[in-house]
Homo-oligomer: A and B are copies of this chain.
């Protein structure tokens, strides 16, 4: 593999032009869009508009004039086609953590006589923490967390399980679950499934409706580029909506919030999954950011994502780094999301040394170097340059410099 090969790949990239829709710092290689997506130019423009015109000039009238009141549904419907959801099943609100709580309560209430929530031990911790919080509140007889250690979660299915809570792409290793197979098997055992799409929405084609998924949550600030801490989203299959309620029954989820009556009546459809007043600035910016996806096919994004990852892994092999950096991600595309992970005892310092060279990836405790691929703004040349620097840092043990080992608050 030569640099000429790389140039050819970039020259033939159907997504190459997309990079111009983002504001990116100069001389930066950004391989952390799986943690925080880059700033779309349209999002930047909307931020100014919503602050200066909508808030500053139109003030309270913007709830009607600029339809702030409809934003949660509007943004939900923009996300829906990216995750294979027909209209009326997705709404934007709160954080993934809060939304997991809502869906756990909703799903458990549908499952009379069952109370076990099954998940993976290495699921993203907040999902597990939310089950633990609910379990503390309701007692183990009403909500019990059961953890399975491996990726073969279906081995743990049994008739006493109420809910499967599973992240489609593992946040450390990038392992990609087979949504269709797992959902179908879960249903055979009478288990309802909540998928967490944090590391897959916007990264690969998802078919929630076709896979007959019950519930899902997902993240606005990773592959959807909605900005730091952008609101999350909730999916509830149409068939469950009428029978389902959730306890975070704030006024925005009321059938008639502006009647200001004392008794809660759940709103129609997805509205009942809203709680309090949404963060309009953050949600408006996410709304605009999603326009980037208007003219792209998720399969085209996925194809490039796989090629970027394969290129990365080949170059790491070619650079003879494989003995030092232990690959923790599946090699086969169908089992891997849009990231690769390597274990190394000095993973944190390697990551810091890369960042010092303006090559941004991240560290995940205890020993994982994580590299994310975001096909909308990452080129094959970025991968080439990053691996060259990685080779330099690892083979010359540049990471052993103490300055790269200083622990930061956020990794």
Contacts and interface: CB of A to CB of B under 8 A. Distances in A.
Residue among A39, A59, A69, A246 with the highest chain B CB neighbour number at 10 A: A59
A47 B94 CA distance: 20
A408 B281 contact: no
B279 A247 contact: no
Given A51-B227, A137-B138, 12 more contacts: A36-B55, A38-B59, A62-B228, A68-B410, A94-B94, A95-B277, A97-B275, A126-B276, A133-B264, A229-B277, A229-B280, A260-B364
A221 B277 contact: yes
A62 B280 CA distance: 22
23 contacts: A23-B52, A30-B59, A32-B59, A36-B60, A39-B56, A44-B56, A62-B228, A68-B229, A68-B410, A70-B409, A98-B248, A98-B276, A122-B262, A124-B260, A130-B249, A138-B138, A172-B260, A221-B277, A228-B279, A258-B365, A259-B365, A260-B364, A282-B282
A219 B59 CA distance: 17
Contacts of A279: 228-231, 279, 281-282
B264 A132 contact: yes
A130 B364 CA distance: 36
A121 interface: yes
B55 A39 contact: yes
* Oligomer: number of copies: 2
Contacts of A270: none
B251 A132 contact: no
A125 interface: yes
Interface of A: 23-25, 28, 30, 32, 35-36, 38-39, 43-44, 47-48, 51-52, 54-64, 68-70, 94-98, 101, 105, 121-122, 124-126, 128-130, 132-134, 136-138, 147, 171-172, 221, 227-232, 245-254, 257-264, 275-283, 285, 355, 360, 362, 364-365, 408-411
